[in-house]
Every structure is written in structure tokens, then in C-alpha cells.
Chains A and B, each alone.
Chain A
């Protein structure tokens, strides 16, 4: 009866449940495609669609998940692999500044719901806690057009299939 529970066993078990859920609900959220690494359940990637009515619309962005052994007590590490111009995403590393990935994390979140939160962040940037200061400054100075055109440009350059 005594379960000798180790972190990585607990996190593997949990990730396996998430994997099954993702397989089952594949069509439920057409904006998110979560894929587990073939050989390592602690590595995932996701493709998310840029939300409509934002400069990211029409783009497909790749995220890399690295999951700690203490998951889900600790949050997954997530970063953008696709270049994106957004106040809360580091322009070079793709690091994301989002509270639920740091101090507001709880095991009630899942990889899937983290993707949803990131899509929400794309639609609602928070320029007051910028990782990309150029982007944050454009928004904070009220230069919506400047922000929009930069974000749009990088969406076209990096997140959309090349035409012809």
C-alpha cells in the first residue's frame, strides 16, 4: 500500500494523462497543436495560431516546452521558437513573461491551458512588464501603429509560409 512516490514518477504519470487528454481532444481546440517528443515525455512542442484581429493573425507560432521533474508542482518552461515581436516575449530567446509561468503557477493549469493563456497574452500584451522593451515602449507611448507594423512584419517574416 505504501507508495514510494518520487517527483519524476508523479510528473511522468501526470504528463501521460495530459498526453492522453491531448490525443482525445485533438479537434477540440483547433488553434493549438501540442506534440510530445517521441522519446522524452518531458519535452513538448506546440503550434499555436496567432489570434485574429491582432498583428499575429494568420501566423503559426512554435513553442518549446521543457518540463521540470517536479511538474506539476513547478511550472513548465515555455519559450517561443518562432520569432515574435511582442512586449512580453524576449526578442532573442523567446522567453515569455507570464505570471502563471512563474509565481502564479498552480497544478490546476495544464500544458493545453498554458497554450491558451499564451494565445490570450498575444491578444492582450502587457506593456508595463516588458521583456521586449522596444515593443513595450511603442505601446506605452501610444504608438499602436508602430507596434502593429513591427509585430505584423515579424509575423509575415517568421510565422507565415513563404509564398511562391
Chain B
């Protein structure tokens, strides 16, 4: 900024000259085409407004390269974003199940704290499954982990329970004023996957569907609708978290950070989704944090749905009991979620 202030007087002069030319042409054109009284036309249109804002603001308004508008920079940002997407697209939406040693190999020459934590992880977890880092990794990881769990366990009680929750989520969106046709396809695709894993679907089929752009993105979008609905329904509860995170309103947050595909998940999203669906998630944090005293440990946090959100379904205290260990475990590395498998 200081730098700019130094060069600005000369540049500003040039800009102002140019402006004057523009102003006269603007004035000429308006004279031609608007039937305004002549007296008004002769007023210099671009003279600094009398309130003085023009003078003090001109350095701000006309920075050095003013003609390079934001949309040029938007283009650059979009180029970079597409480069990131291309890079990310080399990984399938949902990868194969890899032994945990694959993670070890990744950090072979890395930070000693991370290496030790990976060793500790190995005591409890046997494998991991990577997901594409496209901003949807949390929802995509959850999607696969949840459907795979149902596919393996054929837990009919759980399917019945979540089906009730999904109906509630539908009602939530309805009561919030969402147009039904904007979300129903996404709900239907999720329910179709749920029914299929419960009946006939093989793990290979689940994997190929999870890699299918359309099905996979539709299910991710279903979770985004569910999350957004829960946040809006309990706006008062979520408001302070959102204010701390982005300094925007609940509505704006949902519109710009929850509903659009590719927007990364924060704790707010995770809390809302686990509450809305009543599914617990354990998140294991693989970062370089350590405490000075005591032994190194891998931190985890369990997202347990709050009782408040399950008030609606009175019969929800299913056979699994109240406090259970989450059957879904995700590995968090700063900026990314993958799926972890217990030993």
C-alpha cells in the first residue's frame, strides 16, 4: 500500500487525464441520447463530488493497474482451480483399500512425529481408503464408509432408523421453503443406494458406483442438502460457530459454503450432518501436534449426534444402545479426509 502511494501521484494524473477524456465522451453521448435540459449537461460530470470522497478515495479507487479488473484475476484463480482439479482427478473419487503401510511409505522421509503417529495408528487400524481431494472428500468418505458398513453388516435396524431420519430431513427442507424438485432426486439416489447395499449389491458394485461421477456426486449433494437443512433448522445453535468461522450469516454460509459442490467441510458441517442423520463419526487427526509431556498419542474426536436432534423420532433408541463407539472412522490430515479401517 505504501509503495502504491509513492507511485500514485503521477499515475493518478495519467488516469485522471484519461478519465476526463472518458467523461467528455460520456457527456457527449448522454447529450446525444438523453433529452435533458442543457443546463444540466454543462455540469462537469466527473468533478470530484463535493463531499470530498473523490479525492481521498481516488488512490483506492484507481490502484496502479486499474484496468485489470477483478475478472482477470478471477480467470487466473479459475485456471489455478482447474489445475488443482486436474491434479486431484488423477485419484478416483474413492480409491482401493490400501494397507496402512501405504501411508507409512508416503511419509517415509517425513517428520518424525508423523512417522511415530502412523506407527501408533497401525496398532489400531489395518487399512485406509483414499478419496479424491476435490473439496467433497468428507462427504464422499462418509458416503462410502456408511454404505459399506450397511453392505457388510446388513443391519436392518440401522437402515430403518436412518430411513426415518432421511424422511425427517426431507420435511425439514420442505418446511424451510426449498422447492421439492430441487432436492428430491438427490434424496432418491441415496435411498436407492441404501436399498441396494442392503439387498444385492456387491462391494465391487458399490465401489464402481462410488466412482461413477453422477451417482457419487448425487449422493454427496444429498449430504450437502441434509447438512444445510440441519444448520438452517437450528440456526440459533449454529450461528455463533458460523460467525467465528466466516463472519457471515447462517443463510449466506449455507448458500456459499455448504450447498455448492466442492466446498470443504468444517466442524460445523460434520456436527450438522451427524446430528441430522444420527450417525456417529470418529475422526482421527494425523498432524504434527504433540504434547511436551507424556507419550505421543494420536488424537481423535468422536462426533456423537446430540440428543436434541433425535427428539423427533421417539423410537430411535435402537438396539445399538445410547453410547456406542462410532462405526465410521475417518482419517483427517490438514485439509483432507480418508477412510480408516479398524483391525
Contact between chains at B69 and A3 (CB < 8 Å): no
A10 to B185, CA, bound (A): 8
- B183 on interface, CB distance cutoff 8 Å: yes
Q: How many A residues are at the interface, by size bracket?
A: 35 or more
- B33 on interface, CB distance cutoff 8 Å: yes
- B30 on interface, CB distance cutoff 8 Å: yes
Min Cβ gap A7→B in Å is 5
Contact between chains at A104 and B61 (CB < 8 Å): no
- B110 on interface, CB distance cutoff 8 Å: no
- B261 on interface, CB distance cutoff 8 Å: yes
User: What 0/1 readout, one digit per residue, does chain A (1-38) give for beta carbons within 8 Å of chain B?
Assistant: 11101110010011001100100000000000000000
Residues of A contacting B214 in the complex (Cβ-Cβ under 8 angstroms) = 5-7, 10, 70
Q: Nearest chain-B residue to A3 (Cβ)?
A: B192
Contact between chains at A7 and B213 (CB < 8 Å): yes
A5 to B260, CA, bound (A): 21
Residues of B contacting A149 in the complex (Cβ-Cβ under 8 angstroms) = 26, 30, 34, 36
Interface residues of B in 214-271 (CB under 8 A from A): 214-215, 217-218, 221, 224-225, 228, 255-256, 259-262
Question: B261 contacts which of A106, A140, A146 (Cβ < 8 Å)?
Answer: A106
Residues of B contacting A6 in the complex (Cβ-Cβ under 8 angstroms) = 214
A149 to B27, CA, bound (A): 9
Contact between chains at A140 and B61 (CB < 8 Å): yes
Contact between chains at A1 and B195 (CB < 8 Å): yes
Residues of B contacting A14 in the complex (Cβ-Cβ under 8 angstroms) = 181, 185
- A42 on interface, CB distance cutoff 8 Å: no
Interface residues of A in 111-161 (CB under 8 A from B): 128-131, 133-134, 136-138, 140-143, 145-146, 149-150, 152-153, 156-157
- B19 on interface, CB distance cutoff 8 Å: yes
- B311 on interface, CB distance cutoff 8 Å: no
Contact between chains at A156 and B186 (CB < 8 Å): no
- B178 on interface, CB distance cutoff 8 Å: yes
A97 to B69, CA, bound (A): 12
Residues of A contacting B182 in the complex (Cβ-Cβ under 8 angstroms) = 72, 107-110
Contact between chains at A107 and B183 (CB < 8 Å): yes
Contact between chains at B178 and A146 (CB < 8 Å): no
Contact between chains at B54 and A106 (CB < 8 Å): no
Residues of A contacting B217 in the complex (Cβ-Cβ under 8 angstroms) = 73
Contact between chains at A106 and B255 (CB < 8 Å): yes
Contact between chains at A141 and B185 (CB < 8 Å): no
- B46 on interface, CB distance cutoff 8 Å: yes
23 pairs from A and B in contact (CB 8 Å cutoff): A3-B189, A5-B214, A14-B185, A70-B214, A73-B217, A73-B221, A102-B78, A103-B260, A106-B260, A107-B182, A108-B183, A108-B228, A128-B70, A130-B69, A137-B19, A138-B26, A140-B61, A141-B54, A142-B49, A146-B45, A149-B34, A149-B36, A157-B33
Extra pairs beyond A73-B221, A107-B182 (12, CB < 8 Å): A1-B196, A2-B196, A5-B214, A97-B74, A104-B260, A108-B228, A137-B66, A140-B61, A146-B26, A146-B45, A149-B30, A152-B34
Chain B residues packing against A (C-beta within 8 Å): 19, 22-23, 26-27, 29-30, 33-34, 36, 45-46, 49, 53-54, 57-58, 61-62, 66-67, 69-71, 74, 78, 178-179, 181-183, 185-186, 189, 192, 195-196, 199, 213-215, 217-218, 221, 224-225, 228, 255-256, 259-262
